[in-house]
Amino acid sequence: MINPELWVRGAAIVIGVLFGALGTAAMLASLGVFSGDSPAASPSWVGVVAGLMFVFGGLAIIVGYGVAGGVALEDDVAMATGRGVRIIQYLLGLGVAVSLATIATWAALASGGRGVSSRAASAALWLFVIVLAIMGARHLMRRP
């Protein structure tokens, strides 16, 4: 019989690689690699940032479940997980949040000033990123 923990770790690696491949394909498509030209709907950097969001998310799945073995109390990785792995997990999560806030900010500003609610949502996302960064850093410093 196969250990269920090995199934979880293996599945996490497969899912993380799939997310990474999807993000890489999005980045390459936004740079015009597949069609020879960049889509005109948005600047190519928006596609690159969106792709990075998927790559960061895939890596976070691999690190959180494939390397660290999943979450424990308070949605953190297990106590035996080293500080380096926890810092990498923190930075990957922060990378996803920053990518999302960056795209939302571009969408709010590209609307030409018509979307007050979209600008408020963008500001709320950046506030979330700041709170996430501070709370995550405090959590990393507090725990050995």
Domain total of the chain: 1
Q: Tell me the chain's radius of gyration from C-alpha atoms.
A: 18
Distance CA 21, CA 47 (A): 14
Q: Is the pTM of this model over 0.85?
A: no
Percent residues over pLDDT 90 in the chain? 43
Residue 58 · residue 94 · CB < 8 Å = no
Which domain range does residue 134 map to? 4-142
User: Tens digits of per-residue pLDDT, 48-106?
Assistant: 999 999 999 999 999 988 887 776 555 556 656 788 888 898 999 999 999 999 998 88
Please count the other Cβ atoms lying within 10 Å of the Cβ belonging to residue 135.
10
